[in-house]
Structures are given as structure tokens and as C-alpha cells.
Structure 1
Amino acid sequence: MLGDKLRIGAGAAVVLVIGAVAGAAVTNAVQPAPAAQIAVAEASASTELYVDVQGAVERPGIVMLSSGARVIDAVAAAGGMTDDAAAGSVNLAREVVDGEQLVVPDGSAEAAGADDGLVSINSASAEELQMLSGIGPALSSAIIAYRDENGPFTAVEQLEEVPGIGPAMMSRLASLVKL
């Protein structure tokens, strides 16, 4: 009789252990991932960009944007363009790059005839670039492709990094272009 009681007690203990293990497994299966793991995944998916927005905007200065942001986002973060901004000279659809300086030109200087006659390598169209001596359709396309791939030029001398522009071409262009 004592043996029967031990077998029943041992059997009950086994059933309790199996029940506890099964209960723990079900509880772990329905619990969401810990918040720390979710936060790490979200943080790695988003990269912050710092862009220095200057010129004809309401609040010039550095703005922080998310990866994939466009010029329109940077301008909006700087409070938008002022009434005298030359809005047509800025490509609002272009993607911004971390560390770039974005200058929104003041249109009132152009309206007053204060044009310096230089071609902006950061905003000129293919047709405007082709007005420069020695720049044809292929080279204007190469300049625009370089600008699209690498962001705006930060120095006129960077033109030498564009395939097809060597020292001789650069010396001709230096006095004809601006950022």
C-alpha cells in the first residue's frame, strides 16, 4: 500500500512538472518581444542627417532630418522660404546628404540685376552648363550625374573629379562658375 501511494505521488509530481513546463512554453510564445529589442531595431533603421540650411529661409541654421530626406524637408525644417527667395533655383526634390550646406538664393538680388554672370555648378541645368566654353551635352550630363550621386559641390575645384574635366578644362572654367 505504501508502494501504491509512492507511485501515485510520483505520478502526480510528474504531471505537475509537465503542466508547469507546458504553461511556461505557452506563456513565452504569446509574450511580445522585450521593448529594448524593438527600440534597438528601430534605432538602427533610421539614420539622422545634419544639414546646414542658409540663405532665404525663415530660420537659417542646422536642421536634423531622417535618412532619405529631400531638400523640401530641409527647407521646411528651417521654417520655409522667405518671400524674396528664388524658389525656382532650388531643386526641392533632390535627396540631401549628411553634412551638406544648402543655400536658398535670394531672388531680390537677381531681380535688381545683381547677377554676377557666373554659372552655379550646384543648381545649373544641363542647358545652362552647356553655355560654358567646352561643355557639351556629355560633359553637362556628367557634371549633373556627379552632383546627383555625391551631393552638391563644396568647392569649385571638385569639378576636376568629374570624368572628362582635367586641369586644362578646370583652368578655363574656374573663372566662369560658382557653387
Structure 2
Amino acid sequence: MAVMENIDFQKLLRRLRQWVAFIGPQRIIASCCTAVLLGGIAWFVLKPSPVPIDAYVPRVTTESATSTPMSPAIITVHVAGAVNSPGVYRLPSSARVVDAVASAGGALRSADLESINLAQTITDTEQIYIPIKKVSRPRVTTAPRLRPQRTTPTTAPTTTPGTSSGSAGSQPTRLINLNTATASELDSLTGVGPSTAKAIIAYRTKKGSFSKVEDLLNVPGIGPAKLAALRDQVTVG
């Protein structure tokens, strides 16, 4: 049996050699190269296309930024009224009314802080007015204003002992306008000296016209008692 298999293998080798000799080694090498080339082309054409990496990466959609403008980090406000240093101040955008009052040197003793919301937020270009506590006006008795009477020239009346001529009526008091008065006119007021008169004119020059008599409390050197004494002597209109 082994002898038969050896004979068949030799016959196969002999035929293979005859076939190679008949075709030629160059043709066999060329055929092998052609087969390899065709196989490579077929593999390149028929291979499955790779899945793009983007297909596995989740797309993140970003929303466009809103068109709402951001609030400024610093705002400018005007603090007026019953504070130590009224004026224009720059504060953070998160500031509140209490911060604006503090930046203006704090509130005066006469400030009515109970009537405002100190925790309220403030906005740019806002005016923050601190009101003054309402003070009760003292009752002042003044002489009645008499109308002038027309008189005709007459002879001097004779007087008898024990009688005297009637006293002349009191003259009405002229009110001083705080917005137009000079320093000498202000100095003539009861309770006002040269330094207070200069302070009133300086406040009027810096802050503008007085809108009410109570604005005198914002002038250095004038308190509630002095305001009560001046109330019936001055006007703003």
C-alpha cells in the first residue's frame, strides 16, 4: 500500500514538472502576480466602507447667545435729600438703597428712613431721595396784617390829659426768597449769621434752587430748631 502511494506521488511530481516545463516559469510567475493583483483589486473594491467616526460621536447643539445685553458692572446714581454728602456716586450693579446712602456719608439724624425701602435694588441713572422726618410746626402768634387806610389832612386834634394818640399798626413782615436773596438779606434773618448765609448761598450754587423750605436742613449748620425759627421768614417762590 505504501509502495502504491509512493508511485502515485512520483507520477504527480513528474506531471507537475512536465506542466511547468511546458508553460514556463515566467508564465507561472506572471500568472501568480496577476492573480494576486486581481485579488487585491477585488478586495479593495468589494470591502465594506468604514463607518465614519462622527456617527458614534453625539452631536452637541449649542444655543446661540441671547441678545439681551448684560447689565453694567458699575452703575451711576444720584443720592439726594437727608444725607451728609449728597451727590453722584458710582456703585456696583448689585448695590441697594442702603449702599447708596452709605456712599453718601450716611443719613442725617433728621432722615426719615422708615418711609423708604433700604433693601430695594437700584438701577443706573436713578435718583435716590432720602426724605426728612416731618417736624410739627410750632404755633407762632403773629400780628394781623392791617390794610392801609386813606386819610385826609386835618388839623391836629387837641389832646386832653390822660389820653394819647393811637399807636400805628404793625407793618407786615416781608418774606425773604431763598433762591434770590443776597448774603446781606439772608444775614438779616433772625438766627442767621454771616457764616450761615454763606452756607445757604453755597448750597444754592452747588445744588440748584430750593424746592421747599425744608431743604434748608441740607445746609450745614441748620437743624430742626433753626428751621422752625426761619420757616415764617423765608419762601422759595
Place the TM-score, normalised by the shorter chain, in its bin: 0.3 to 0.5
TM-score normalized with structure 2 length: 0.27
Q: In terms of Rg, which structure is larger?
A: 2
Higher helix proportion (structure 1 or 2): 1
* TM-score of the two chains, using structure 1 as the length reference: 0.36
